[in-house]
Amino acid sequence: MNLIGQALTVVRKDLLLEWRGKGRLISVLMFGVVTLLLFSFAVGPDSTLLRAAAGGFLVLALLLSSTLGLSESFRVEQEQRAIEGLLLLPVDPIALYYGKTLSNTLFLMLLAPVLTPVALILYSVQLDLKGLAVLLGLWTLAAAGLSAPGTLYAAMTSRLQSQDVLLPLLLFPLVIPVLMGAVKSITLILTGDPMSQVGSWAALLASFAIIYWSLCGLLFPHAIEEGI
Amino acid sequence: MNLIGQALTVVRKDLLLEWRGKGRLISVLMFGVVTLLLFSFAVGPDSTLLRAAAGGFLVLALLLSSTLGLSESFRVEQEQRAIEGLLLLPVDPIALYYGKTLSNTLFLMLLAPVLTPVALILYSVQLDLKGLAVLLGLWTLAAAGLSAPGTLYAAMTSRLQSQDVLLPLLLFPLVIPVLMGAVKSITLILTGDPMSQVGSWAALLASFAIIYWSLCGLLFPHAIEEGI
Amino acid sequence: MTRQFKWDSGIGLLGLLLLFVGSYIGLFVAPSERYMGEVQRIMYVHVPCAWNAMLVYMLAFIFAIISLWTHRPKWDAATTAAAEVGIVLNSLLLVQGSIWARATWGVWWDWDVRLTTSLIMLLLFAGVLALRSFVHDASRRATWTAIATIVAFVDVPLVYFCVRWWRSLHQVQSTPDTVAPMMVVPLRINAFAILFIAIWMMTQRARLELDRRRQDQVSEPERLAPIGGSNNA
Amino acid sequence: MSIRATDSATLAIQTRGLGKRFGRQWALAHCDLQVRPGEVLLLAGANGSGKTTLLRLIAGLYKPTQGSMTIYGMDPDQEKLACRRTLTLVGHDNYLYSQLTALEMLQVWTRLRGAELEKAQAIELLREVDLHDRRDYPVGGFSAGMRKRLTLLRTRLEEPRLVLLDEPFSALDAAGQNLIEDWIEGYRSAGKTVVLASHNLPRSSRLCDRAFLLQEGQILWQGTGEAILDQVGTTV
Amino acid sequence: MSIRATDSATLAIQTRGLGKRFGRQWALAHCDLQVRPGEVLLLAGANGSGKTTLLRLIAGLYKPTQGSMTIYGMDPDQEKLACRRTLTLVGHDNYLYSQLTALEMLQVWTRLRGAELEKAQAIELLREVDLHDRRDYPVGGFSAGMRKRLTLLRTRLEEPRLVLLDEPFSALDAAGQNLIEDWIEGYRSAGKTVVLASHNLPRSSRLCDRAFLLQEGQILWQGTGEAILDQVGTTV
Ligand code: HEM
Ligand SMILES: Nc1ncnc2c1ncn2[C@@H]1O[C@H](COP(=O)(O)OP(=O)(O)OP(=O)(O)O)[C@@H](O)[C@H]1O
Ligand SMILES: Nc1ncnc2c1ncn2[C@@H]1O[C@H](COP(=O)(O)OP(=O)(O)OP(=O)(O)O)[C@@H](O)[C@H]1O
Ligand SMILES: [Mg+2]
Ligand SMILES: [Mg+2]
């Protein structure tokens, strides 16, 4: 079977697992909502302050939920060492990586359509439909950028003690460009975009995604050379 | 052996495990530091905004790190079902609960002394030594309040799919009083406390801790009646 | 499948009837409010929803204690039903409140005590149901639902106080509290109407839960005839 | 120890109509078991016949869906801790913390039983299972059989009167299997009760006083250890 | 298939000075193994003697600390995927996703091997291990033996020429053990190579063409299946 076929088989398996454990998506979403709420409590009831930081908080909530989703995606692989069962099969590690990354990207993409409206309401920010569409597009780029290194690191940490701490620890500093790009561009969208800077931030997000999709695909086979 | 002796044995075992896997404490701390950093990126370079929200961000970072620490504390119990080995011994569930809760409280208490200085530097806020002492005292109350329901829920979710999502999901809304109490009182300390309101917030934190230490101690034996 | 007429269907019908009457009075008979105008009439469902949500959560709490005590499936069903109906009322409350807020304050949301408390309450109990959905074993599910319900409910007063203190430095949202008698009547009627409907929904939901359990309940297999061996115990 | 089979106070285990259902599946049903103190009992049966479920029910790790039981006359619901003090179970899992060493694992277990274990005693115990030279190695690096050996030491740490063993011989080498056989003989002569589930019939049938054959969650047959070999030959 | 033991291209497995160290512990050392295609090989040895380590090295799950090997003439470093296509390993773990059903597990495995499994075929396979009536149950609720049976089906899904089995008989009931024995006989007559590690010497020694006795990570002895029974009797 060719690479693409194998990768799609991995995606299919992940979607099946996701479907079986529907709870995971829903609870990651609820986690995101609760995080959005927490931010407003942390800042206090002052709504101007909240509104100024709304874009940042939305992106942070998305990032935190994404990290949880990523580390969950390997939890199920390790439970009865199913991942070893996959590694023993003649599956190209590259197919494995891109399959897993793709299904993680799909998963992360689902977060924004739910969390954005909640953030808009909680932080009393307005956004028209066009703005929303642009925002979702940006998040798709960001999600792709997050899941490329995220999947690599989640695989590498999945069998270590305290993966849930290690993964964000490794990932957060790495994805600061994604964070900043997303925060900046989303804040621009929320506050109106007079200078049309969104484009260049989107370019940053896209290049991050492209670089890490290629780089991590090259590195992953080495990471799993001795199993995970 | 009496209850207290058993509980202390559990604490001792947990401390030994902690000592062996020193990595956990360090990486939870580093996670906290990275989170503090993320907040400043998410809010942007506006330092007044940052300073106004400094207390809130510090508490949020503490809370997020705490949740990770709590869910880790049961990861090691489930890895080879060690917890079942404990449940099979004639250990009073109450002793088990308070032992685990105490060791979690100790763990969480260690977070503030490290994260507070980092937050002070990152957000350029000043604090004298007395203020620092009061802050650490408040965090001790908050840590006790967090770990009581946190330990109960961590135990209950430890064997479910997606514990790492479920635990914060259950815990965050529950500990909003702790969050608010800590944010308010710590912000008061950071900005100076003209009206001496810190006392009443500390009272809130203390009553939360007392209520949940008693309530969860009563409920825990039921939770593990059929094993976890 | 023929179903005999159950007492709760009666209550449900009564509730619908009352809701119709109350809403009629509220919409067409009661005077409109001086400042807010016609939007204010949303109050006749808003306030009853709020009262009943609280009441139903309290029922969930009581059922949870009994369920933990007795381990009987019916109390688990009752706890779940109450928690779910509470969530439904709570969500309705939030939606109505947001619409009202949008119309009067110009924003969908504000960090007022009651608003904030309602939202946290919703999340607390939604967490309970999320936990429940992950537990497959029926008896453990019952225990854990009960525990989580108790833990969540005990938190509500604490949340209320802390949100009040949290707000205290800022102005408290003004709400009209001088109320005309013609406003009180539909409010009362609708409160009972929604209470009855809530009871009806709870019994339906509890029945459904018990039915589901019964479907899973396969009776013990036939006792196998032991072969050979005499009982040499 | 005099025995009257009908008197539950003098029985080590008595179950009445014990049953356990998972979802729509009855893992165990109609289980009436009477075990006298000092007996060695074998549970045999095909995969999925309910052996593990029965042992876990007796150990109090599952709540019965139906029926009741007593352990040395005690009701596990009422006197949970006393029952736990009376019995010990080694199941399919190993109950280990991978970061602790073999020695530390033993100490943790003993302390939680309310006793204290001298280092010399612990080394003596480890020597029994041939792990004494690995005493300071973290158990996470142990082989399957080494883990099993360590966990089986739990039965020797204190004085449980009822020892429940779920496939004690699996993962062990010949020497290990002989050792466990000796242990079980020792328990018998010390008047302790042993219930073991095993697929290693040649070995376990010659150990046991009575054998039970389970099928689809029910006790199909009971008899002596020698008889079960023939029985299994004909039915399985 | 004619065999010249010195020609690595015609050997199923050839290892030269293979060794694996964990920390300060040599789990395997100086391992020179030559396995001809169509042979059934038994690895015996005490707990912790290095059987699992050797099998995992061959399967490519560990990287050797020392030495080299070829599998059907291929270098696993160079031709990883080809090696994986050639071999299959069933180890101590079960490689299952608890939420999937037995049928779905089989389908996932086959698809990843690049084939497609008709439902009828899958049911036929499940029938072989007596799990056909549990095909739509999530495997998380399976008993230890049922999981093992399901995982052992991995050896039948495709056409691996080299089957590595780590304690294939453990957790299985008598019928299951007989079945696996039949399978191994079948593999032998189909010209496949089988390497199994087992503590069930009576059963595995009569199956194998050659037996190896490991001790502390080194091959201590090699001989025929019958001979190992005596050998173990004297050394262990
Ligand atoms: C999402 C938004 C809202 C939520 C969650 C909410 C929640 C509640 C709750 C929980 C109560 C019951 C309090 C009690 O009886 O102690 C209540 C009562 C009430 N609400 Fe709202 N509310 C919202 C928006 C509004 C708005 C926008 C208005 C009008 C401007 C409003 C006016 C009232 C009034 C008049 C009462 C009755 C007060 C009383 O009985 O003293 N609410 N609301
Ligand atoms: N991951 C590891 N880390 C550290 N040491 C290990 C590791 N894996 C194996 N060892 C050590 O290597 C040696 C051989 O282990 P291995 O698992 O190969 O034994 P085995 O022959 O399979 O034993 P068993 O019959 O008990 O399964 C043992 O001493 C073991 O402690
Ligand atoms: N947690 C569970 N959830 C669902 N079904 C279960 C669970 N545990 C056991 N079962 C079912 O109960 C039956 C008996 O299982 P049990 O583990 O007791 O068998 P066993 O006799 O120990 O088998 P083995 O010899 O394979 O260990 C099996 O059909 C199994 O599928
Ligand atoms: Mg079993
Ligand atoms: Mg092994």
Q: Summarize pLDDT for E29-77 with one digit per residue, the tens.
A: 999 999 999 999 999 999 999 999 999 999 999 999 999 999 999 998 8
Residue C142 inside a domain? The answer is yes
What is the reported pLDDT for C170?
41
**In this structure, what token pair is assigned to residue A155?**
């695989």
Instruction: Give me the total of CB pairs closer than 8 Å, taking one residue from chain A and one from chain E.
Output: 77
Residue E4: band (very low, low, confident or very high) from pLDDT cuts 50, 70, 90: very low
> Taking the CB of residue B75, how many other CB atoms lie within 10 A of it?
17
Across the interface, do B84 and D93 touch by the CB < 8 Å criterion?
yes
Ligand 2 centroid to Cα of residue B81, in Å, is: 20
Sign of CA dihedral E139, E143, E146, E148: positive
Residue C213 inside a domain? The answer is no
Residue C168: band (very low, low, confident or very high) from pLDDT cuts 50, 70, 90: low
| Residue in E63, E39, E33, E52 with CA at minimum distance from that of residue E219 | E33
Residue C151 has pLDDT above 70, yes or no: yes
> What is the interface pTM, i.e. ipTM, of the complex?
0.92
Q: What is the mean pLDDT of each run of 10 residues along chain D (236 residues)?
A: 54 93 91 93 94 95 92 91 92 92 93 89 94 92 94 89 94 93 94 94 90 92 86 60
> Taking the CB of residue B5, how many other CB atoms lie within 10 A of it?
12
What is the reported pLDDT for C4?
54
* Most informative mutation of E143, E147, E151, E170 for ligand 3 (most atoms within 8 A of CB): E143
Tell me how far apart the alpha carbons of residues B166 and B176 are, in angstroms, rounded to a whole number. Answer: 16
Tell me how far apart the alpha carbons of residues B155 and B132 are, in angstroms, rounded to a whole number. Answer: 33
What is the enclosing helix (H) or strand (E) of D61?
none
Q: Which string of DSSP letters, residue by residue, matches B37-61? A: HHHHHHH-S-HHHHHHHHHHHHHHH
Neighbour-count burial for E12-50, b at 16+ CB within 10 Å, e otherwise:
bbbbbebbbeeeeebbbbebebbbbbbbbbbbbbbbbbb
What is the enclosing helix (H) or strand (E) of B21?
none
| Residue in E176, E167, E117, E174 with CA at minimum distance from that of residue E146 | E176
For D52-96, the pLDDT digits (tens) are 999 999 999 999 999 999 999 999 988 999 999 999 999 999 999
Across the interface, do A122 and C166 touch by the CB < 8 Å criterion?
no
Domain count, chain C: 1
Residue C48 inside a domain? The answer is yes
Residue C221 inside a domain? The answer is no
Smallest-distance ligand from the CA of A226? 2
What is the reported pLDDT for B143?
96
- pTM here is 0.93
**Contacts of B133 by beta carbon, 8 Å cutoff, 6+ apart:** none
> Taking the CB of residue D70, how many other CB atoms lie within 10 A of it?
19
Tell me how far apart the alpha carbons of residues A210 and A208 are, in angstroms, rounded to a whole number. Answer: 6
For C40-52, the pLDDT digits (tens) are 778 888 889 999 9
For E192-231, the pLDDT digits (tens) are 999 999 999 889 988 999 999 999 999 998 988 888 887 7
Residue C3 has pLDDT above 60, yes or no: no
For B47-83, the pLDDT digits (tens) are 787 888 889 999 999 999 999 899 888 988 998 899 9
For A162-190, the pLDDT digits (tens) are 777 888 888 999 999 999 899 988 888 88
For C58-103, the pLDDT digits (tens) are 999 999 999 999 999 999 999 999 999 999 999 999 999 998 888 8
What is the enclosing helix (H) or strand (E) of B124?
none
Question: By three-state DSSP, how is residue D214 classified?
Answer: strand
**Probe site for chain B from D21, D53, D61, D99 (most B CB atoms < 10 A):** D99
For B138-153, the pLDDT digits (tens) are 999 999 999 999 999 9
Residue C228 inside a domain? The answer is no
- Using H for helix, E for strand and C for coil, what is the string for chain A? CCHHHHHHHHHHHHHHHHHHCCHHHHHHHHHHHHHHHHHHHHHCCCHHHHHHHHHHHHHHHHHHHHHHHHHHHHHHHHCCCHHHHHHHCCCCHHHHHHHHHHHHHHHHHCHHHHHHHHHHHHCCCCCCHHHHHHHHHHHHHHHHHHHHHHHHHHHHHCCCCCHHHHHHHHHHHHCHHHHHHHHHHHHHHHHCCCCCCHHHHHHHHHHHHHHHHHHHHHHHHHHCCCCC
Residue C96 inside a domain? The answer is yes
Query: Which residue of chain A has the CA closest to E58?
Result: A88
Q: Cα distance from E204 to chain A (closest Cα, Å)?
A: 24
Q: Cα distance from B43 to chain C (closest Cα, Å)?
A: 20
More confident residue, C33 or C227: C227
**In this structure, what token pair is assigned to residue A6?**
């194998």
D98 interfaces chain B, CB cutoff of 8 Å: yes
Across the interface, do E81 and A9 touch by the CB < 8 Å criterion?
no
Enter the DSSP assignment of E16.
E
Chain B residues with beta carbon closer than 8 angstroms to that of D100: 16-17, 20
Residue C233 inside a domain? The answer is no
**In this structure, what token pair is assigned to residue E203?**
């059963």
Residue E7: band (very low, low, confident or very high) from pLDDT cuts 50, 70, 90: low
Q: What is the mean pLDDT of residues E105-119?
A: 90
Sign of CA dihedral C153, C155, C160, C163: negative
C-alpha dihedral over C167, C168, C171, C176, to 10 degrees?
Answer: 90
Tell me how far apart the alpha carbons of residues E163 and E224 are, in angstroms, rounded to a whole number. Answer: 20
Chain A residues with beta carbon closer than 8 angstroms to that of E82: 90
- Counting beta carbons within 10 angstroms of the beta carbon of residue C185, is it exposed (0 to 12), middle (13 to 18) or buried (19 or more)? middle
Residue C62 inside a domain? The answer is yes
> Taking the CB of residue B192, how many other CB atoms lie within 10 A of it?
7
What is the reported pLDDT for D1?
38
Q: What is the CA radius of gyration of chain D?
A: 18
Question: By three-state DSSP, how is residue B15 classified?
Answer: helix
> Which residues form the domain of C181?
12-30+37-207
Ligand 5 centroid to Cα of residue E198, in Å, is: 8
**In this structure, what token pair is assigned to residue B59?**
């508490």
**In this structure, what token pair is assigned to residue B62?**
């503490």
Q: Which residues pair with C168 in a beta bridge?
A: none
Residue E2 has pLDDT above 60, yes or no: no
| Whether residue E53 has its Cβ less than 6 Å from ligand 2 | yes
Largest CA distance in chain B: 58
For A40-55, the pLDDT digits (tens) are 888 877 778 888 888 8
Share of chain E above pLDDT 90, in %: 73
Ligand 4 centroid to Cα of residue D167, in Å, is: 7
Across the interface, do A37 and C120 touch by the CB < 8 Å criterion?
yes
